[in-house]
Every structure is written in C-alpha cells, then in structure tokens.
Structure 1
Amino acid sequence: MAALLCSLQDHRDDVNCLALSDRFLASCSGDKTVRVYSCEDFRELRFSPLRAHAYGVHCCCLSSCGRYLASCSTDARTILWSTGTGAAVAALEHPARAPVRVCAFSPDARSLLSGACDGTVAVWDVTSKTLQRCAKVSEGSVLACSFSPCGQMFVTGSSQGELHLWTLRMKTLHTQREAHDLGVNCCHFCPQMSIDGQAVKFRLASGGQDNRLRIWIISQHATAGYEMSLLYTLSAQSAPVLCCAFSFDGQLLVSGSVDKTVTVYDANQGELLHTLTQHDRYVTACAFSPCMLMFASGSMDKTVNIWRIGDGNAGASEPLKMSVQGRKSLGYSRTLVSDWSEEDVSEWLCDEGLEALVDAFRAHNIDGAELISLNTETLTTEFNIESVGLRGRVLRKIKDLRSSLMDSDVPDEFLCPITRELMKDPVIAADGFSYEREAMESWINTPNRSSPMTNLPLQTTLLTPNRGLKTAIQRWRSSH
C-alpha cells in the first residue's frame, strides 16, 4: 500500500525535479528556485529557498557524501551548493553556454555530469570545481543521464530517442538506437548490480515520449564488452513518461507521466502495484529515499507529495504524517496573504519557526495586509528586532509572500515559458508558442535549435511579434 504522508506547496511554478538523501529533500522549479527540506519532518531549512539561477531550474541532485547539492538551468549554469549553509560553492558554466537540462553526481561524489540542449555532456571534477571534459553525445537535447552504481560509466538519453553508455573519459561503450520513439525523457540505474558467471549485470530504467517505461539489462562481459537487452516494457501510463526512479534495494520502480499519474511497479516481475492519482497536472519528477521505502513525486501542479510504501511498519511513519500534514492543514495556506487575519499571521510565524515574534506581531495587530508592507526600519524601530540575522530571515519570508501574491494574479499566458516572467515584447516562434523576444533569441542562438516547450526541432528561427498579446499585457499592467 502506498500512503500519502504530506504535500509540500511552496513552489510558485512547475516542480521540475526532486532529489532525496537520508537527510534532505531538494526540489527545483520553473520559479528559478531550489528548495531544501529536512527529511525528519519535511520542514524547509532556514537558508531555503536557494536563488542564484536567472531562469527556471530543470534538475537537481544530492551528493552521496552529503556535502553538496547541484542544480542546473536554462541559464547554462550548474551550481554547486553547500547543504550545510545553502551557500553557492561554485557556478559551472556549460561550454558554448547551452541551456543545461540534467545533472547527476557519481556514486563517490567526485564527478558531476551536466547534459545540455546542444547535445553535449560535461564532466566536472567536484573537488576542484573544474571541467574535466566535454563531448557531443547526441544530435538532440540531452534530457536524461544516470551513473552506474559502480561509478565507472554513465548513460545519457536524448530527444532523438537513443540511449548511450559511456566511460568517464567519454568513450562510447554501447548505443541503443530507438530506445524510445520520439525521445527519451528520463533514465535511472538500479542501485543494485549482480554477477552472472563471467558477466556483471546492471538494470537501467528509461521513460519516453512513446508512453513507455522500459527496464534494460546492461551486461559487462570480461571479453565480449557490453551489450544491452530489453527486460520489460511497462505500459500502464497513457501518455509520455517524464520521470522514473528505482528504490534503494532495487525491488520497486516508480514513474510519473503526462497522464498525471504516479505508478509503482515490482521491478523484478514488471508488475504494476499502485497507480496514484493525487496530482492535478503532469507528474514531472520522482525520487526514492536511499535508505527506506519512501519516495517523493513532483508535478506541474506546483506540489511535492511524499509517499510511504507499506512494509509492515506503517505505524512508525504516523508521527511524521501528523506533524507534517498538520503544517499544511493550516487555514492561512488556502487564503491570499492580503486576506490573512492576525491569527493567520501568528500561525504563519509559528510554521516558519518564528514563534518568538508572535507576541510582538499580535501587540501591533499585524494582519496579512500589514505583514507584506513591513520593512527593515519598521522591524528595527517598532518591533525592536535587534538581531540582523533574525530581521533578514523575516524579510526574506515576507519577500516570498509578496512574490506569491504578485504571481497569483498574473495570467499564465502573460508569462514567458522560458523566464517565467511577465513578457514585455512577446514573439511567436515556429512551434506556435509565445516567448519574450530576448529570452527566445538567446535560446535559439545555440547549435541545437529545438522548441523550449516540445523539444522538437524548430523549422525556422523566424520570430513574429505577437502584437495582440503585447496589447493585452499592457492593458493588464495598467489596470494593476
């Protein structure tokens, strides 16, 4: 049985990727942020959200050593963050400044992959924060990558539909043509490997635009090299499969789809165990805990759901379920900030770990409208908050509230799909979608001229002004 433990609703745009370690849950979004939570109670850490990317964040991953979090973005950078402080340790710029779609740490946390829209993959040394090598691996966008559990090889998947197996020195070991019709969206190595006679065998899951989730066997022979064979084709989902992940013990496989479902399979038998339908939009991300039968799923509905797979110890997870769900059941989370009562503000303060300020805010009769108008001077002179760190923390939380209030009013069609910002000079591209001119011009100024929305090749780079949309945006701005 798969039980929903809690639902996190902090992102203001699509959740694009998730990462789970024994201590942290990380999520990234089109809202340009990475959020980090404690796995003890799924409360957001004090330094979260992380803000350094200029555009939406496509992928995030956590190192096995526990020291680093990596995130990559359309801004062509892969940023290394400290999980202890939230500080940006390094900003690794992809060669040719191509938008970066995926990133992955090696099992020993010494290497980091980044795959880009121009079909290249870069291998970075985590210790020195330097580029080790970069090579063209596909004619399409690199949309998926995963290290083998031994750390000596990795797989890439692309919009062209093929899977490639590589050494760390970028030597090709095997190519699986037409692994998925119309493109590979995700891939993940099973953490477990086996030895069968003279061969070492690995399992790899991949999901594609063809609505299929596949499990492959990759065999490494002492003399015959590598071969790849199909074990199962899983077709429980009726639309493209966007994400997949094995459990830590290799027994289960989870996937998310455009059909809004999360599916859980027996990875050994290829049998469907659960179909979960709690998400309202495309399920774009999933990740298993490395130490227990718990996983997270993320969606374009802006939520992250935490699930526990029943294993006979359901009672052990009950305290976690109560504490985290209690946080999200508060009334203020379902109300616009500007409409919050004084009691809602008090609940919000407690929920953010600012209980010490509740009495002061109540004494000044601070409701939602007053809360979002507070500034440094007011907090210092009227609330007597002398601690610079505490003032800064309160102001960052208030800034997030202001942003959420503003974003909730902007019609989605007025936002550029690339920057997720209100467009000033919208243009129509060959894929039929409208974008901010500057953002789209930067996007198509790469060797791989694919659509940001569909990943399919653009037939032309001609951009046509969308004057009707521009007028509608100007009218909306005037009225607001």
Structure 2
Amino acid sequence: MLASCSLDGCTIIWNTTTGERLVSMPKNSLSVKICRFSPNCDLLLTAGDDEKIIVWDVQTKDRKAILEGHLDSIPSASFSPDGKVIVSVSFNADFRIWSAGDYRCLYTKEDAHEYGIQSCDMSQNLEPVPNTVADTQSYLLATCGNDGLVKLWRIIIPKQSDELQLDDLEVKLWRSLHGHGGNVICVRFSQIVGEFLCSTATDRQARIWSVYGADCLFVLDHDSIVTSCAFNSDCSLLVTGCLDKTLWLWKLPQRLVFQTAVANKIHCREKSVIEWTTGDVVKWLKVIDDETTEKMINEIRWLKKRETQMEGPGNLEIPHEYLCPITHEIMREPVICSDGFTYEKNAIAEWFMSGKFTSPMTNEVLSKTDYVFNLELRNAIHNFLDGKTVSEGEG
C-alpha cells in the first residue's frame, strides 16, 4: 500500500500493484502535510495545518484518536519502529512524543530548532546506539529545520518486566550535523538498521550522512530546491524530489550497499538473543543439567562484570593478548576476524559500522567481515580476572 496526502485536505491509500485507489479518508478542511503508516500498517496518521495529528484505523476509516497540543502547522510525524510511540514536529520549533497506546503526550521539547522544524524520522533500528543499558528501550529520532541543522536525538524509556515505563521517558540530543546552506526540508534514515541518513534543503542539495560517524559522505547537487528523499531497502538507490516537479534517482556506491549488508548481518546476529521472552528463558532453564547450570552461573557472573571490574588480580601485568587492539582494554567478548587477529566484538562491529573495511592491524582490505568467537581466549581472560592463573616466575 501507498498513502498520499495533499494541500486540498485529501488522504488516499493506493494499491501499489494496480494503481487503484483503495481508501479515501474523510477530507480535512485544511491542508494535510504528512501521512505515515504504523509498522504493521493497521494505523495511519495524518497531520497538517489544523495543528492536529489524527490516527486512523486503515480498515474501518474510523478516527482512533486526535492528538492536540501543537500551536502551529505540523509538517511531519512518525511512528517508532515497534509502534509504541509517535513523534510529531511543528513550525513552532517544538516536537512532541505521544503514547501510541492511550495517545497521551509524554514529552514536549521546545525550541528544538531555531525558526521551526520541517521534518522528522525515526530509525527502524531498535538498538540504534551501541552499548546502551539492557533494561531500557532506545529510539533514534532525526529532526531538521530552518536553522540549517540536522539533529539526532536519543529517546530512552526504562523497562520493567519487559514493559515500557513511558512516564519516565528521557530525551537527549545525541549529535548535530552541520553542512547545509539553507533550510533543511526533509530527513530520512536508511531502512532496517538506519546507519545512513539523507537530508534535503533549499540549498538545492541532498546530503548523505553516516549516522555513527557523523560524517557527510556525499553531497548531491540538484537544479532546484530538494523537498523529499527516500532510500530503497538495500541502500543501492536513493530517490529525491524537487520543487520543479522532477524526481531524481541516484545509484549509490557499492560500498554503501556492502556496508548496509554488513550492518544488517550484525543487527540480525545480535537481535536473536534480545527476542527471547522471560517465558523462553524459564523454559530453557528447566531443562538444562547441573553442569550447564554451573557454566551459566559463571557466564552470568562474567556478564555482570562492569567495565571498572575488568581488571586483573593484584598488581599482575595484563597479558598483551588479552587487550583489544582497537580499544586497548581487556576484551569481554573476543572474536577472530578474517585478518587472523582478535578484537572486542563491539569494537570491531563499530569499526565496520563506521564504513571501515580494512584490518585495524594491517590496514589491508578484509576478505570478509564475518567473525567467530575466540572462546579459548575468552575463558583464559575469565580465569585471569578471577585470579585463577599463576603469574610467570611462580613455581
């Protein structure tokens, strides 16, 4: 399905295969400037010059909720990737975060951009920022405005028994991206992992940014003001729309496609464990034997070690092979890469995510980005930190 909205107040849902009109939502008396589906496509939100966000049931065309509070036109809004929250922005320079369950306003950020906000988007990645606390849910929000800036915001919500504690929501400015020479009109993350970001502006440029490196990777010049943009699923193509009624289709460099595949692989590899429910863990614990139980207790003790506890016993010198070549700290999860060297898993994952595909040790291009866990070394580090090793020179 495809949803479109218009300055005439109409919102229409189309069949993308046949081009037929599927649903026409009740017409608004004022301009509708944004329409976005929920992740499961059951809901559609619309917003515009009436300063309201309307949430629709796609099947019945019924209004589920009307969200009010903005004091100016609403040019953009977005669902979180899990459909739990809604973010909306306004020309009044504020953005608001709403519960998608009971439609309460949870948070308001005033003066997020000078002179008003034009657009917002939420990363589809449910773990957008590495090394976040396990008992919280993080989202990554991008906003852009008439101050020429793109801003990335971390939305952090505590969890208790896997339930989001929405009333304790916290928002932090993560980084600001500088480069445009005019009002920034549109911002969109790449799909699935959200490792890239595209922004368009009145300076007739579209810019592609590295989310994790905070670098501008490409500047794409146009003949007119660029009003919109979107990536395809594998980041091989980017489409931009302009005020002169033209659409530009850009074929992106192969290294971006490769980097997206790497990021997706890392994302999937980490996601499987997080998908376990409490019931799954309890069921698994009931069937393991005593030997496995003992191993699991040791594993839990290991995982609960804080970074400040990752130190060797007494004044013993830490063996060089226990240190990550990237961070120069004791490794918690050592992995072997295709260059034959061992690194901390999170460190090498972030190395790849920042667009580097060379060996940190030799600077040569890696033949592949897969890695395997170095369990033997990890166990040796484990024993060393527990003081079970005998220092050299002792009989």
Q: Flag whether TM exceeds 0.5 (same fold).
A: yes
- Aligned to 1:198, which of 111, 135, 138? 135
Distance 1:203 1:243, change over 3 A: same
Deviations for 1:315-372, whole angstroms, at most 9, x for unmatched residues?
9xxxxxxxxxxxxxxxxxxxxxxxxxxxxxxxxxxxxxxxxxxxxxxxxxxxxxxxxx
The reply on whether 1:106 has 2:49 as its aligned counterpart is no
The reply on whether 1:126 has 2:58 as its aligned counterpart is yes
Following the alignment from structure 2 to structure 1, what is the Cα–Cα distance between the partners of residues 70 and 256?
45
Is 1:121–1:137's contact at 8 Å kept on the other side of the alignment? no
**Aligned residue in 1 for 2:223:** 280
The reply on whether 1:167 has 2:102 as its aligned counterpart is no
Deviations for 1:66-115, whole angstroms, at most 9, x for unmatched residues?
xx2111112212111122322222221255x2211111001110100000
**Aligned residue in 2 for 1:212:** 149
The reply on whether 1:259 has 2:203 as its aligned counterpart is yes
Please give the secondary structure, in 1, of the residue aligned with 2:148: coil
Following the alignment from structure 2 to structure 1, what is the Cα–Cα distance between the partners of residues 8 and 20?
19
Q: How does 1:231-270 map to 2 (within 5 A)?
A: 231-248=174-191, 249-270=193-214
- Aligned to 2:72, which of 114, 124, 140? 140
Distance 1:126 1:98, change over 3 A: same
Counterpart AA for 1:259: D
Is 1:286–1:296's contact at 8 Å kept on the other side of the alignment? yes
Q: How does 1:36-435 map to 2 (within 5 A)?
A: 68-94=1-27, 97-168=29-100, 169-194=102-127, 196-222=133-159, 223=165, 225-248=168-191, 249-277=193-221, 279-312=222-255
Following the alignment from structure 1 to structure 2, what is the Cα–Cα distance between the partners of residues 313 and 69?
26
Distance 1:94 1:198, change over 3 A: farther
Following the alignment from structure 1 to structure 2, what is the Cα–Cα distance between the partners of residues 216 and 309?
26
Please give the secondary structure, in 1, of the residue aligned with 2:56: strand
Is 1:247–1:293's contact at 8 Å kept on the other side of the alignment? no
Is 2:153–2:172's contact at 8 Å kept on the other side of the alignment? yes
**Aligned residue in 1 for 2:366:** none
The number of aligned residues is 246
Following the alignment from structure 1 to structure 2, what is the Cα–Cα distance between the partners of residues 281 and 121?
30
Following the alignment from structure 2 to structure 1, what is the Cα–Cα distance between the partners of residues 95 and 119?
10
Q: TM-score, normalised by structure 1?
A: 0.49
Higher relative contact order (CA 8 A, sep 6+): 1
Please give the secondary structure, in 2, of the residue aligned with 1:192: coil
Distance 1:78 1:313, change over 3 A: closer
Counterpart AA for 1:187: C
How much does 1:285 deviate? Answer: 0.4
Give the number of the structure whose alpha-carbon radius of gyration is greater: 2
Counterpart AA for 1:209: N
Following the alignment from structure 1 to structure 2, what is the Cα–Cα distance between the partners of residues 82 and 310?
31
Is 2:234–2:257's contact at 8 Å kept on the other side of the alignment? no
Following the alignment from structure 2 to structure 1, what is the Cα–Cα distance between the partners of residues 138 and 27?
33
Deviations for 1:176-197, whole angstroms, at most 9, x for unmatched residues?
1111111110001011022522
How much does 1:128 deviate? Answer: 1.6
Following the alignment from structure 2 to structure 1, what is the Cα–Cα distance between the partners of residues 44 and 256?
36
Following the alignment from structure 1 to structure 2, what is the Cα–Cα distance between the partners of residues 71 and 313?
29
Distance 1:236 1:131, change over 3 A: same
Distance 1:91 1:314, change over 3 A: closer
Please give the secondary structure, in 1, of the residue aligned with 2:169: strand
**Aligned residue in 1 for 2:328:** none
Following the alignment from structure 1 to structure 2, what is the Cα–Cα distance between the partners of residues 309 and 196?
34
Counterpart AA for 1:247: S
Is 1:180–1:207's contact at 8 Å kept on the other side of the alignment? yes
Counterpart AA for 2:175: Y
Following the alignment from structure 1 to structure 2, what is the Cα–Cα distance between the partners of residues 313 and 108?
28
Distance 1:313 1:139, change over 3 A: closer
How much does 1:300 deviate? Answer: 1.2
Counterpart AA for 1:260: R
Is 1:118–1:139's contact at 8 Å kept on the other side of the alignment? no
How much does 1:200 deviate? Answer: 1.0
How much does 1:313 deviate? Answer: 8.9
Distance 1:300 1:225, change over 3 A: same
**Aligned residue in 1 for 2:276:** none
* RMSD of aligned alpha carbons: 1.8
Counterpart AA for 1:130: D
Following the alignment from structure 1 to structure 2, what is the Cα–Cα distance between the partners of residues 161 and 89?
35
Q: TM-score, normalised by structure 2?
A: 0.60
Counterpart AA for 1:271: D
Counterpart AA for 2:123: C
Unaligned runs of 5+ in 1: 1-67, 316-480
Following the alignment from structure 2 to structure 1, what is the Cα–Cα distance between the partners of residues 252 and 69?
37
Please give the secondary structure, in 1, of the residue aligned with 2:194: coil
Distance 1:110 1:156, change over 3 A: same
Please give the secondary structure, in 1, of the residue aligned with 2:75: strand
